A and B are shown apart, each in its own frame.
Chain A
Amino acid sequence: MKLNAKIPEGKLEEKWRNYQINSQLINPANKKKLNIIVVGSGLSGAGAAATLAELGYDVQCFCYQDSARRAHSVAAQGGINAAKNYQHDGDSVWRMFYDTLKGGDFRSREANTYRLAELSAPLIDHFTQQGVPFAREYGGVLVNRSFGGVQVQRTFYARGQTGQQLLLAAYSQLYKMIRARKVTMHTRTEMLDLVVVDGKAKGIIARNLVTGAIERYAADAVVLATGGYSRVFRLSTLAIGCNGSAIWKAHKKGAYFAAPSFTQIHPTALPQSSEAQSKLTLMSESLRNDGRIWVPKQKGDQRKANDIPEEERDYYLERRYPSFGNLAPRDIASRAAKERIDAGHGVGRLRNAVYLDFKHAIERLGLETIKDRYGNLFKMHKKITGVDAYQEPMQISPAAHFSMGGLWVDYELMTTIPGLYAVGECNFSDHGANRLGANSLLQASVDGYFILPNTINNYLATEMKNGTVDTDHPAFAEAEEEVINDIDRILAIDGNKTVDHFHRELGKVMWQECAMSRNKAGLEKALTKIKQIRTDFWTEVKVTGSKDELNTELEKALRLADFIELGLLMCTDALQREESCGAHFREEYQTEEGEALRVDEDYSYVSAWEYVGEGGFELHREPLQFEYVQPSVRSYK
């Protein structure tokens, strides 16, 4: 199949308007006859569900948690970017577009990235109206701060809980529409397969996580808003329940998977302290506004941080990237940390961390200002580590964080399956090979609130003429049977190892070979190992309890089975892309100074993988055309 990104005609700044002028509309009387399924209730899912319902569609929204308010958008701390230029510091839609494109190392579409920047300003208006308590100046206007990879202040925030506040706004709008009887909410319900009829998405099969019942849901279109899949590494900054199953099932039903291996490793998480650890807690990137990152110059220095004199500290980001310093983009900051740790300068009990120090900021700005800006982050740090970061530096370490990859979508956010849309982190679109800080909440929101509600009509206007499909259609029975077979198969294995055992094994391989630094031999080895893990999982896993009850082990097993296959695709993708770009760092392709070396002649395309059965994947290429920006060597020096 030839990939058609459906980029509208016209100049860059006119494309979105042109699209809207030319797209088909549906009259309100007809909208209420159309049913849309939204899987996921995070910022993009809840935003989409609420807005679609406001437009008049009937919406069914699903989440695996006990409430829509738990979705992992809640954990984003630092902020949301918007080209408001409130700080009068030279910001503009164009500059934001350029920063994002460059931040992504020129591996995303110009048109999508421009639209992201263009819709950022109205989004801040939107959230302010919805009651988000953004930080304010005494005079009552909104405050901004800086984030990595940019030289202007365009990040809006609500203390260290920006994601929570935006999600709660989306969640409350969702409940407003539930009260209006336009949205039916299915909590504790997990999508286990997509139903495709005549090549079009027409529904889902889901499991009621309380009763275990397998349920069929039909719709005129299906929207996936299921977030990122970095739990494939097991240890990550994601929630424990985050998974890739919905998009993986869609992939197996025909949706292409784009740039699967582009994974952001965040530089400022708390370091791993033991084998039993289940998650890595993120410390917001906003801390890098005022905190300075350093390691001891002396290898294996055993002294306490405060005992190491200034001249024996290596502020390596400021040294290597003088113009961006501690605000270098995440991929670069993570790799630089890894380089220092690997060279023997790591700190902490396991020597796997670097310092993030506020001493100078406190001297310069005073304790009260730092408390006001980061108080709750310091408090959280104290709760988890027992360390008072006002007195001694934090210890931080890189951790798997964000999936730039995801289902391939066109300009309308439609996947290669007609009627199936992907919004937010589960699609690949706007971030290229590396996402800039505070662009994640932005993309999730813009996709859900502004873009999808203006593109889905273009499909439904035609599709509605074909009539609706109900759950008696044989495609539902077929998909349901597959789901039940998988569940029965897992329960029947009755082996001698736990689900977590296999997840730890998978995580180790993925972290070793497919994270911050990759090479051909390692990736080939990883593919062999993951295939072995897959075989072992399907012969040795043990899941207790039955399928007809609330069974958390069964839920974990089903998610892991998909993660294992997804891991294979990620390694396949990383192996195929023989260049370094953004977060994808192939050791064979680097400059003398150890920076990523792109190979534009051969790899200036989006990799879109088709599932061809039995773990095989076929590559399709969507060439990236740069009409307005000339891809340059990405430098933050």
Chain B
Amino acid sequence: MKVTFRIWRQDTPAVAGSFVNYEVDGLNEDMSFLEALDQLNEELVLKGEKVVAFEYDCREGICGQCGVFINGRAHGPHNNITTCQLHMRSFQDGDTIVIEPWRAEAFPIIKDLIVDRSAFDRIVEQGGYISAKTGTAPEANAIPIGKEIADRAMDAAACIGCGACVATCKNASAALFTAAKINHLNALPQGQPEAHRRVKDMTAQMTAEGFGHCTFTGACEVECPEGISITNIAEMKSRAFKAWLLG
């Protein structure tokens, strides 16, 4: 299998980038997309060229570190997967595959396909936790939590922080990411004491980081590898309203 990768190359944030074409031959359908990029990089090394910088770690769809735009879609042609879960069998022999980094003002580029997503960490820093010190916990079954609530919290908590929701959104909104964390914690009884403060602080940080507003197009939930629903955003909005009223 032979394809042409058309890849965004940019050495540093300070210099202009451009697309460069690379032909790669000898691929097979069972290879993952990232393994095909590995092969390209090995070929580049042997030619004495700098490798394409791209991110990955677990390569099993859970760490959230990989993520590029492939042919105009976050994480490639399928719904609800990560880039590392994409395989070459999804492409045809002879295809040209365009690869770009996530594009969002709040995710500045570092090099080639790598962007800085630390804005997500700073949103979490503003209340994406329960303020309880190690050593202070009551017995685990002392507070019963119904299965429906636990399941709902888990659905939201599944977010892997990859940033596809932001990258695919026309407004580069981080509403789905932020809502997922807020709804996970605010759904649980343990999260109640800080519920209002959490919504206010985290959404304020989201805005401060330069993410855009949500206009409910639903683009994010299509690309989210965990399939987190945009109803989470509606829930966050109602929580924010409640926090404004009561908090």
Instruction: Determine the distance from Cα of A550 to Cα of B160 in the docked complex, in whole angstroms.
Output: 24
Q: Which chain A residues border B58 with CB–CB below 8 Å?
A: 70, 72, 74-75, 239-240, 279
Whole-angstrom distance between the Cβ of A564 and the nearest chain B Cβ: 18
Q: Is the CB of B125 within 8 A of A179?
A: yes
Instruction: Determine the distance from Cα of A138 to Cα of B121 in the docked complex, in whole angstroms.
Output: 34
Q: Could you give, for residues 62-103 of chain A, a 1 whenever the CB lies within 8 Å of some chain B CB and a 0 otherwise?
A: 000111111110110000000010100000000000000000
Whole-angstrom distance between the Cβ of B140 and the nearest chain A Cβ: 4
Q: Could you give, for residues 45-57 of chain B, a 1 whenever the CB lies within 8 Å of some chain A CB and a 0 otherwise?
A: 1101111010111
Q: Is the CB of B63 within 8 A of A75?
A: yes
Q: Is the CB of A126 within 8 A of B134?
A: yes
Q: Is A241 an interface residue (CB 8 A)?
A: yes
Q: Is the CB of B190 within 8 A of A274?
A: no
Q: Is B65 an interface residue (CB 8 A)?
A: yes
Instruction: Determine the distance from Cα of A161 to Cα of B137 in the docked complex, in whole angstroms.
Output: 22
Q: Is the CB of B62 within 8 A of A550?
A: no
Instruction: Give the contacting residue for B161; candidates A47, A67, A125, A179; CB below 8 A.
Output: A67
Q: Is A122 an interface residue (CB 8 A)?
A: yes
Instruction: Determine the distance from Cα of A279 to Cα of B139 in the docked complex, in whole angstroms.
Output: 39
Instruction: Give the contacting residue for A74; candidates B41, B63, B157; CB below 8 A.
Output: B63
Q: Which of A170-178, A218-226, A331-339, A520-528 contacts B (4 or more CB under 8 A)?
A: A170-178
Instruction: Determine the distance from Cα of A171 to Cα of B157 in the docked complex, in whole angstroms.
Output: 13
Q: Which chain B residues border A125 with CB–CB below 8 Å?
A: 137-140
Instruction: Give the contacting residue for B46; candidates A240, A380, A542; CB below 8 A.
Output: A542
Q: Which chain A residues border B146 with CB–CB below 8 Å?
A: 136, 138-140
Q: Is the CB of A500 within 8 A of B38?
A: yes
Q: Which chain A residues border B224 with CB–CB below 8 Å?
A: none
Interface size, B (range) = 35 or more
Which residues 155-209 of A have a CB within 8 angstroms of B? 158-159, 161, 163-165, 168, 171-173, 175-176, 178-179, 185, 187
Instruction: Give the contacting residue for A274; candidates B31, B116, B147; CB below 8 A.
Output: B31
Q: Is the CB of A544 within 8 A of B131?
A: no
A279 with B60, Cβ < 8 A, contacts A384-B85, A498-B42, A498-B46 known: yes
Q: Is B6 an interface residue (CB 8 A)?
A: no
Q: Is the CB of A545 within 8 A of B51?
A: yes
Q: Which chain B residues border A139 with CB–CB below 8 Å?
A: 144, 146
Q: Which chain B residues border A72 with CB–CB below 8 Å?
A: 57-58, 63
Residue of A nearest to B117 (CB): A66
Q: Which chain B residues border A277 with CB–CB below 8 Å?
A: 31, 35
Q: Which chain A residues border B125 with CB–CB below 8 Å?
A: 175-176, 178-179
Instruction: Give the contacting residue for A67; candidates B28, B62, B120, B141; CB below 8 A.
Output: B120
Q: Which chain A residues border B120 with CB–CB below 8 Å?
A: 67
Instruction: Give the contacting residue for A278; candidates B35, B53, B160; CB below 8 A.
Output: B35
Q: Could you give, for residues 42-72 of chain A, a 1 whenever the CB lies within 8 Å of some chain B CB and a 0 otherwise?
A: 0000010011001000000000011111111
Q: Which chain A residues border B110 with CB–CB below 8 Å?
A: 210, 550
Which residues 140-195 of B have a CB within 8 angstroms of A? 140-141, 143-147, 150-151, 153-154, 157-158, 160-161, 184-185, 188, 190-191
Q: Which chain A residues border B111 with CB–CB below 8 Å?
A: 210, 549-550
B residues whose Cβ falls under 8 Å from a Cβ of A: 11-12, 28, 30-32, 34-35, 38-39, 41-42, 44-46, 48-51, 53, 55-65, 81, 85, 87, 89, 110-111, 114, 116-118, 120-121, 124-126, 128-141, 143-147, 150-151, 153-154, 157-158, 160-161, 184-185, 188, 190-191
Contacts beyond the supplied A140-B144, A500-B38: 20 A-B pairs with Cβ under 8 Å: A66-B65, A68-B121, A74-B160, A125-B137, A125-B138, A126-B137, A130-B129, A130-B190, A131-B129, A133-B153, A134-B140, A141-B141, A175-B129, A237-B60, A278-B59, A281-B60, A384-B87, A496-B46, A542-B46, A549-B11
Q: Mind listing 17 A-B residue pairs with CB under 8 Å?
A: A66-B117, A72-B57, A72-B63, A74-B160, A84-B140, A134-B140, A136-B146, A136-B147, A140-B145, A140-B147, A158-B154, A159-B154, A240-B59, A278-B32, A499-B45, A543-B45, A552-B53
The 8 residue pairs across chains A and B that have the minimum distance between CB atoms: A140-B144, A172-B129, A129-B137, A125-B137, A133-B154, A136-B150, A133-B153, A128-B140
